[in-house]
Amino acid sequence: MKKHLLAIAVTALAAGSAFAQATDTLAKIKASGSVTLGVRESSGLSYTLGNGKYVGFHTEMGEIVLADVQKQLGLPKLDIKYQPVTSQNRIPLVTNGTVDLECGSTTNNAARLKDVSFAVTTYVEEVRMVVKANSGITSIKDLNGKTVATTTGTTSVQTLRKHERAGGIDFKEVMGKDHADSFLMLETGRAEAFVMDGSILAANISKSKSPADYKIVGEVLNVEPIACMLRKDDPAFKKAVDDSIKRQIKDGSLAKLYDKWFMQPVPPANVKIGLPMSDATKEAWANPNDKPMEDYAKK
């Protein structure tokens, strides 16, 4: 009986040690010589080229962060493992220890902060609208009597309706099954505007047959701070990640990375997204912070 109790105690102690190590990511990385980076397969900031190759602004930035962590820990080699994540599983995979650092396209908000932590903001998404360049639409007020497309499962049109300048504006809403379908509605004249995240709009324009036929216009409808995600209550790892990002901002390398992925031709189609850095992103870099989306909504 005593042996049985001792075995239980040893097991419990081991489990406790494993949990403690899981929340000390730097110790985990140093002991294993490896780290797992969470990436996306089809985001504007992180995507796959196939055959296990992941690229994008946030993916490459995350790799640089981990290279800085490797230097900090004095590791001669660090094996980066790539774990694709989805909107549904990204938080569980971070909290359960599968993913050490997720650099995809995750919004920092109050609800998520109950389960995870975020590094300093590295991209601020702006919800805008794309129209045909010859449409004459330049503002929300011009949408009266028009048809507006958005994508099923997103909140962009609700955001548009709540905007202070949308008062008294009457427009019809049509839903695309995905972003490409929503853009096709604009392309074929079934909608006069497509409302969505600016990076998604820009990516769809760049892939279209005639990019010059479209332009992103109107007021910014919403802003969302995007940041790399990590486990809660791990201040040493968060500091290492934040210090690397701040260093990349200060020495100009992050700006060069932004230019590479948004202003130059990118794989796989070698097309240019052509999305200049927003004022909100510039502000986030000028004053690095990890404020959630709710703070951005405050006037």
pLDDT in tens, 134-182: 999 999 999 999 999 998 877 788 888 888 788 889 999 999 988 889 9
- Return the top range by mean pLDDT from 33-37, 159-163, 202-206: 33-37
Residue 147 neighbours by CB distance under 10 Å: 16
Q: Which helix (H) or strand (E) holds 159?
A: helix 156-162
Residue ranges per structural domain of the chain:
2-122+227-297, 126-224
Residue that has been written with the tokens 């490797």 in this structure: 70
- CATH number given to 2-122+227-297: 3.40.190.10
Confidence (pLDDT) at 94: 98
Question: What are the CA-CA distances from residue 254 to residues 61, 76, 247 (Å)?
Answer: 7, 25, 9
Q: Which of 64-68, 84-88, 110-114 has the lowest mean pLDDT?
A: 84-88
Kindly provide the b/e burial profile for residues 88-124, where b requires at least 16 CB atoms within 10 angstroms of the residue's own CB.
Answer: eebbebbeebebbbbbbbbbbbeebeeebbbbbbbbb
Identify the three-state secondary structure at position 45. Answer: coil
Of 295, 292, 288, 294, residue with least CA distance to 241: 288
pLDDT range class, residue 8, cuts 50, 70, 90? very low
Domain spanning 126-224: CATH 3.40.50.720 = no
Q: Measured between alpha carbons, how far is 137 from 164 in angstroms, rounded to an integer?
A: 18
Cut 0.95: pTM above it: no
Q: Do domains 2-122+227-297 and 126-224 have the same CATH topology?
A: yes
* Cβ proximity of 59 and 238 under 8 Å: no
User: How much of the chain is in helix, strand and coil states, percent to nearest 5?
Assistant: 45, 25, 30
Give me the count of residues in the chain: 299
**Cβ-Cβ contacts under 8 Å for 83 (sequence gap 6 or more):** 36, 37, 38, 39, 93, 98, 99
Percent of the chain with pLDDT over 70: 92
Peptide bond into 235 cis (omega under 30): no
Residue 230's nearest CA partner among 215, 245, 241 is 241
Residues 6+ apart with CB under 8 A from 60: 257, 260, 261
- Taking each continuous run of H as one helix and of E as one strand, the counts in the chain are 11, 14
